[in-house]
Structure 1
């Protein structure tokens, strides 16, 4: 399909429109199936951040969506209690006269009955970060922090006040990590609390300092499951704990060496627990993810996808709401899409959707209908309804915020065979007007990960601002990409800069064989692992006119020491003192003197995944060697650029850099950087 950018619009301002567009993030379906709630991120009044709001979506698709009555900006993470009450997290003010002053502060758990007023049902010093609901009981579990010296919320609050009063923010790390998920960690430890009806919360157990926030309640609310973080001695292993929800006493624990468990869910009868099991990559073994079930009576663990070679990285399993029915649904990457799959009780797997990328699945009470967020490379997430059984069906779009029309380009695919015979593919987006007579300049944009795929809309490093400026964009899926079977992982195992780089170049050559692309005007731009491939390319070829590297690795030896995923990367590359050859084969910094292409570095000062030292090392190396290099530094951003004003500034700088070096235009320094 060709979509046209209106002639009356200014294409150079597309990234401004993009940064301010509403973003659908979550769905929640009421127990009786009559209410569907979407969480939407909108820009704040200052244009410097996003706030969440809750919207009511008509499940039948007849009525337009509308804000949830008596919901306010800042409400997020919707879910429904067993009686149909809408629950959510919010930092809104507690106006209940009976509430203590301290109870009005921070992110708490709120209940909003249909036709009633919102009331706060749980609060914890330092915020509640996530919660889960029992399907058939008035029980909730939530995650909140305690400190090592505190066993209750009250003691934790006292410790916080004492430290704040004397202005101490020091942290003593002993057996735990210093950062996780791209953020630095304080002295707090995540704990799982369970609250029955209006009773006092029960501390069900610690998740450890780097707890993932995974938790689930059995349908009757008697059991709570959560993951306990690994100790420093077993960083590649975590533990699934099933505890008594009333006392916190552990009933079952499950673990397996070298495996991590995520995204827990109880079956409708409470007899089993289903979750992801992830074997992380090492130099000798490839990354593998599956879904498993723990039988709570026998303790047996069963792989639910033993023969499934899509290598989809299955998302959270959505289980049948019907007691005794073992059907489940999940999503996973497949050749540039992320379909919904159905697994029947006999293990048979059916793909329900042929195109698009799906997330936030919800199933109706009778198990016949699914609701989800659907996106594509050329469409932001939208709310859809589909049949829970039929293979390769078309979905019905419901009326909700999220669409971004029109988009200024045409979506196509590129296919080529790698030198080892493996079939490769990529998305290609052509700007309006590209033709043999007017070939478009091309930007190659490798994805992050590396275990990812270009299958869905992304708000981070989105391709459409480039297309609006007149560039074609190639989105390659090289070795280590998901959705192409286990062989795709084996091809790239242990060689970040080897087969993935060769695949990227093969797809680039295949794209440039088209007569509507200009092989003399090309650039490369990547984020995270894509930034690493950009750095790698800069040391191996001079074919690109410009390279942009955002949060990319440069010196792998220093990186694996500093990153918050130190243990993971050490398993891949080994000890640099004894496996020097692995670092010399993959680390771009060894070949800094070969860089001749102008480079723009983008990096956040609070990035713990790829720490700032990588950008500083790259910048200083290239400056010392006389290469053309610029550095766009965002001191308060992390691994991703998240603030809307920073997003606009990043695109303006990146696009002006490409215009200058790829198109030969005069350099225009963004006004906010003057």
Structure 2
């Protein structure tokens, strides 16, 4: 029988509303000027055109000596700020001219809320996906799709739009923009490879370029290659293949020899922790030898940043915290400089590497831009949601506990607003993170998907576990879920719930479970393993790993998680054993299913499949499909609906 809803706690300035959650402005993409004086960043909000996110560009003094200033008015998607090499100009992309088609613009950092002062640098009809200003100050690398041809326009006008699979996605090519003339030149030596990353050697030398064989994620992420491109001539030299999910290429110098490092999944694995991979490009021919610089480390690298006058810096997920590391050129080991609670992201370094900018948060305050010296105190520069500071939040506790096999685990507990542990037990909602290679860090998170504080305001305790398969505990911890999803990670989650019940925090008769993406899979998996949960929410989750391997955009990577594919013979298959759909007949828990109609990561068919199985077995459930949405929820009305619907579901059943 459903219980009465828990009693919400009034806040000093009223209840936390769904509108307040959705309309929070959030800083993104901080970038410090090469001279270390200024920090530019974007601010994203939801209350723009058609309820879709819009963003503005801001700039602040890195030492806090001047208040942040808005450079663009936020009526478009103004994003991706980057500095000119001499710090005199700030570049950014904007779709102000045509919605959804970004062009490159340039503005003086002393401007003030006047977009008219921004100079439009491109009118590329395919739009600009990304860009990189070069050291000569005269050239900008553009990553852009081909412009539509007359034949493309005819076909679109006539509806002659048949897609040939394998050639249906546009290729992002490497192009060079001459700032003086506005001429865009395409680098032809990469052929039809899809460019995903670029950085220039700090001395103004060649570009290091990461590319995929195809724009499709599968097999794109498995076909990454590294190239050297001479910007003056466009000459290309292939350095050979690099690891799965390669990203963040950076140059650094050791005793006069230039090295190239990047992040990629630990070599030899499709599932596992990211690693720092280093190589020395040969004078001629492909580069073969690659060295894993993070072997044996328990922390996991998340970002790698080039520093012109020194070895690279890196952020590492370290349990519930984030640590800053620097590569030691002699030992070729990464050494920890400092550590901070939560998930630090968006690391940016000045030319000298002495001053940093980064996004930081605490358990009680949302992310903001901070800046300061390496290893020194970081000063908060932005304050995008000051209204939240006066509100009451549920106390967020750090948890440490043991799995059933003795492995040490961590996670977080959010208590109901205004309550203490002594007032328990409370109805408990376990929110499982996505990935599975992700984690909960000790930070403030409040959005339509990770809505822990939203539920805490309504009187629920919320458990945020970090089971095996996630980041922050080394490669072996992450890789153990390969072919075994729902195994150790499920018992890890169960051990945390049992601990909270034993401690009097959680009411064993009022347990709920939810998650998005892989967390949605775990919610569906959990209710097929036990009847302990009285309500569940499955968001964009996987119900059938065989179907996911064949239709999801990650393909063979999902097959590595699920354990097999449907083309491995008539079966039974390992993925059948690991799929929630196989246990639908056991389910009695009421399930709320949320899914984006245009999701290509986890296609809508996963939700429909689960819905039909639940309907067949007479399980109470509700399937909600959000038009125009992909793997997440971006439109304001959809985010509002999800927040209200999730809380109403738990109010009904818990």
TM-score normalised by length of structure 1: 0.86
Which range is displaced more, 25-34 or 532-541?
Answer: 25-34
Determine if the alignment matches structure 1 residue 629 to structure 2 residue 613: no
Q: CA–CA distance in 2 between the matches of 1:210 and 1:512?
A: 54
Q: Which of the residues 196, 204, 226 maps onto 2:209?
A: 226
Name 2:434's counterpart in structure 1: 448
Q: What secondary structure is seen at the aligned counterpart in 2 of 1:465?
A: helix
State the secondary structure of the residue aligned to 1:91: strand
Aligned twin of 1:295: 280
Q: Is the CA contact 2:265–2:271 (under 8 Å) kept in the aligned structure 1?
A: no
Deviation of residue 114 (structure 1)? Answer: 4.1
Larger mean Cα displacement after TM superposition, 40-49 or 327-336:
40-49
In structure 1, the partner of 2:546 is 557
1:128-277 aligned within 5 A? 128-146=128-146, 153=147, 156-174=148-166, 186-199=168-181, 200-205=183-188, 211=194, 213-219=196-202, 221=204, 223-230=206-213, 236-256=222-242, 259-267=244-252, 271-277=258-264
- 1:462-508 CA-to-partner distances (Å, cap 9, x unmatched) read 31111111111100011111111233134433210111111111111
Kept after mapping to 2: 8 A contact 1:189/1:207: no
Q: Deviations over 1:631-670 (max 9, x none)?
A: 11102111111112211110101100100000xxxxxxxx
Q: In the alignment, what sits opposite 2:490?
A: 501
Structure 2 counterpart of 1:38: 41
Q: Residues 190-589 of structure 1 correspond to what in structure 2 (within 5 A)? A: 190-199=172-181, 200-205=183-188, 211=194, 213-219=196-202, 221=204, 223-230=206-213, 236-256=222-242, 259-267=244-252, 271-279=258-266, 286-298=271-283, 299=287, 301-303=289-291, 305-312=293-300, 314-322=301-309, 325=310, 327-346=311-330, 347-388=333-374, 390=375, 394-402=377-385, 404-405=388-389, 406-431=391-416, 432-455=418-441, 456-458=443-445, 459=447, 460-572=449-561, 573-576=563-566, 577-578=568-569, 580-589=572-581
Report SS of the residue matched to 1:610.
coil
Distance in 2, matches of 1:126 and 1:335, equals: 42
Root-mean-square deviation (Å)? 2.8
Q: Is residue 647 from structure 1 mapped to residue 645 from structure 2 by the alignment?
A: no
- Distance in 1, matches of 2:205 and 2:500, equals 57
The C-alpha deviation readout for 1:10-43, integer Å capped at 9, x for no partner, is 43x4332010010111112222222211100023
Count of residues paired in the alignment = 621
Is 1:90 equivalent to 2:94 in the alignment? yes
Q: Contact between 1:5 and 1:408, CA under 8 Å: does it hold in 2? A: no
Note the alpha carbon deviations across 1:381-436, whole angstroms, 9 max, x for none.
Answer: 11112331x3xx65332243245323421011232211222111210010122443
Is this contact kept in 2: 1:261–1:278, CA < 8 A?
A: yes
CA contact 2:36–2:355 (8 Å) conserved in 1: no
Structure 2 distance, partners of 1:366, 1:227, is 25
The answer to whether the aligner puts 1:591 opposite 2:583 as a matched pair is yes
User: Residue by residue, what CA displacement relative to the aligned partner does 1:494-546 show, whole Å, maximum 9, x if unpaired?
Assistant: 21011111111111111222224322211001111111011111111010110
SS of match in other structure, 2:51? coil
Give the deviation of 1:205 after TM superposition: 4.4
Equivalent residue number for residue 667 of structure 1: none
Structure 2 counterpart SS, 1:509:
helix
Gap runs ≥5 in structure 2:
1-7, 112-116
1:181 equivalent in structure 2: none
State the distance in 2 between where 1:288 and 1:438 align.
Answer: 37
User: CA offsets, 1:64-90, max 9 Å, x none?
Assistant: 222127886432110011232110001
User: Secondary structure of 2:619's match?
Assistant: coil
Seen in structure 2, the aligned counterparts of structure 1 residues 363 and 554 have a Cα distance that, compared at 3 Å, is same
Question: Residue 221 of structure 1: CA displacement?
Answer: 5.0
Q: 1:90 to 1:354 in 2, by over 3 A?
A: closer
8 Å contact from structure 1 (residues 139, 194) kept in 2: yes
- Quick one: distance in 1 between partners of 2:9 and 2:308? 44
Cα distance change, pair 281–10 in 1 and its aligned pair in 2 (3 A):
farther
Pairwise CA distance, 1:568: 1.5
Equivalents in 2 of 1:239, 1:353: separation in Å? 33
Offset at 1:570?
Answer: 2.7
Structure 1 residues 248 and 46: alpha-carbon distance in aligned structure 2, compared to 1, 3 A threshold: closer
Indicate the residue corresponding to 1:24 in structure 2. Answer: 27
Distance of 2:639 and 2:99 partners within structure 1 = 33
Alignment CA distance shift 1:555-1:273 (3 Å): same
Q: CA deviation at 1:589?
A: 1.1
Question: 2-side partners of 1:46 and 1:136: how far apart?
Answer: 38
Distance 1:533 1:363 in 2: 38
Take 1:105 and 1:311, find their aligned partners in 2: how far apart are those partners? 38
User: What CA distance in whole angstroms lies between the structure 2 residues aligned with 1:306 and 1:604?
Assistant: 37
Partner of 1:118: 118
| Counterpart-to-counterpart distance in 2, 1:352 and 1:562 | 43
Q: State the distance in 2 between where 1:502 and 1:208 align.
A: 48
**Does the Cα contact within 8 Å between 1:55 and 1:66 map onto a contact in 2?**
yes
For residues 464 and 70 of structure 1, what CA distance do their matches in structure 2 show? 31
Cα displacement (A) at 1:262: 1.4
Q: Structure 1 residues 160, 528: closer, same or farther in 2, change over 3 A? A: same
CA gap of 1:45–1:270, structure 2 versus 1, over 3 A, is farther
Unaligned runs of 5+ in 1: 94-102, 147-152, 177-185, 663-674
3-state SS in 2 of match to 1:603: strand
Specify the alignment match of 2:114 in structure 1.
Answer: none
SS at match of 1:466: helix
